[in-house]
Amino acid sequence: MIITVQQHLLQQQRNVSEATGRFTWLMHGITLATKMVESKIRSAGLTNILGAYGETNVQGEQQQKLDVYANQALLHCLGLAEGVAALVSEEDANPITVDLNPDNGKYLVVFDPLDGSSNIDVNVNVGTIFSVLRRPEGTEANVGDVANWALQPGYKQVAAGYVLYGPSTILVYTAGNGVFGFTLDPSVGAFVLTNEKMCMPEQGPYYSTNEGNAHDWPEVYREYIRRITSGALGQPYGGRYIGSLVADFHRTLHKGGVFLYPPTKKTPGGKLRLLYEANPLAFIAEQAGGMAVTETGRILDIEPTSIHQRTPFVVGSMVEVKAFKDLVAEMG
């Protein structure tokens, strides 16, 4: 018999004495919104939903029509969910407040509604990434503080996950008790448990990065790729890069290896966003036995200073990420 994501959450919550069901409602908001997005994506070439929306977002990037749709779907579905205090989206400069009453608004949901959307016009995989944070204790219904509430290091995440819109639509999430994968069964209309306690291999066959930027990377990243490609880690590596973070990460989770997005001259702080790209994927990687770091340490230990801040990102199997850390130590 199938187990849907909702049933799975209810089973997990039975072991948590203080569980009120709010978290399950919140996850319901995410699964509903991502099913709406998936349905739009499936018919994207047939309807007039591809292409630019005509605006730039808070990051100064061209918004695609599907970015706007995915953001609206998440804001709508999570806006109606029990227990949500506020929502922080890649597409919005400021948090959207939902219910600041401290008796109900317990969670903050931080998300990238449609990651990799510049790939969508050529029918390449895209994804949704989310992170759930607890609203800090003792915070009152003060609108001015909401952005600060989300400035929590990644190790404090309550849950994190992503949906990959690929040949199948897959939801992967962790609430700190292992990583679980669900596949959308279109005939049932539900995400069904397909991967229990997912584990990243200790070492993998692939490295994944945009090597077109290599001339612009700090030397330690160039040397790292030289080592990977020269067999210094004891095996040959193949290169794989989709340019869609969720898809590149999902492959790394299953097959092992390393994904990295180093700093460049254009984006000296890294390109990927800490709160809704690096942190959720780092949480999943660690829960699956992998690691996620920058030159300065563990991703999940970074104290954020702004909601849209960026970070360099090295994530993957134990062997490859440890080799990066050792190299950083060696090169000073």
Binding residues for Mg(2+): 90, 112, 114-115, 277
Site string for ligand AHM, 24-63 (x = CB under 6 A): -------------------------------------x--
Among the listed ranges 70-78, 167-175, 239-247, 295-303, the one in contact with ligand AHM (CB under 6 A) is 239-247
- In whole angstroms, the minimum distance from the beta carbon of 261 to ligand AHM comes to 6
- Is 116 one of the binding residues for ligand AHM (CB under 6 A)? yes
Q: According to CB under 5 A, which residues from 112 to 171 bind Mg ion? A: 112, 115
Instruction: Judge whether 262 and 209 are in contact, CB under 8 Å.
Output: yes
Q: How far is CA 200 from CA 225, 251, 299, 315, 322, in A?
A: 21, 10, 17, 11, 14
- In whole angstroms, the minimum distance from the beta carbon of 308 to ligand AHM comes to 11
Q: What is the largest CA-CA distance in the chain?
A: 57
- Is 245 one of the binding residues for ligand AHM (CB under 6 A)? yes
Q: Can you name the residues that pair with 159 across neighbouring β-strands?
A: 132
- Is 117 one of the binding residues for ligand AHM (CB under 6 A)? yes
SS3 letters for 230-296?
Answer: HCCCCCCCEECCCCCHHHHHHHHHHHCEEEEECCCCCCCCCCEEHHHHHHHHHHHHHHCCCEEEECC
Candidates 212, 296, 317, 312; CA nearest to 260 is 312
- Is 68 one of the binding residues for ligand AHM (CB under 6 A)? no
- Binding site for substrate: residue ranges? 115-118, 210, 241, 271
Candidates 112, 115, 114, 111; CA nearest to 133 is 111
Q: Can you name the residues that pair with 162 across neighbouring β-strands?
A: 129, 172
DSSP 71-90: HHHHHHHHHTSTTEEEEEET
Site string for ligand AHM, 210-229 (x = CB under 6 A): x-------------------
Q: Rounded to the nearest 5°, which phi and psi values hold at 289?
A: 95, 5
Contacting residue, 115, 257, 263, 323, with ligand AHM by CB under 6 A: 115
- In whole angstroms, the minimum distance from the beta carbon of 277 to ligand AHM comes to 7
- In whole angstroms, the minimum distance from the beta carbon of 67 to Mg ion comes to 9
Q: DSSP character for 188? A: T
- In whole angstroms, the minimum distance from the beta carbon of 271 to ligand AHM comes to 6
- Binding site: residue ranges? 90, 112, 114-118, 210, 241, 271, 277
- Is 257 one of the binding residues for ligand AHM (CB under 6 A)? no
Instruction: Judge whether 193 and 171 are in contact, CB under 8 Å.
Output: no
Q: Which is nearer to ligand AHM, 82 or 115 (CB)?
A: 115
Q: How many CB atoms lie within 10 A of CB 84?
A: 26
Q: Where on the chain is the footprint of ligand AHM (CB under 6 A)?
A: 61, 112, 115-118, 210, 243-245, 248, 261, 271
Q: Where on the chain is the footprint of Mg ion (CB under 5 A)?
A: 112, 115
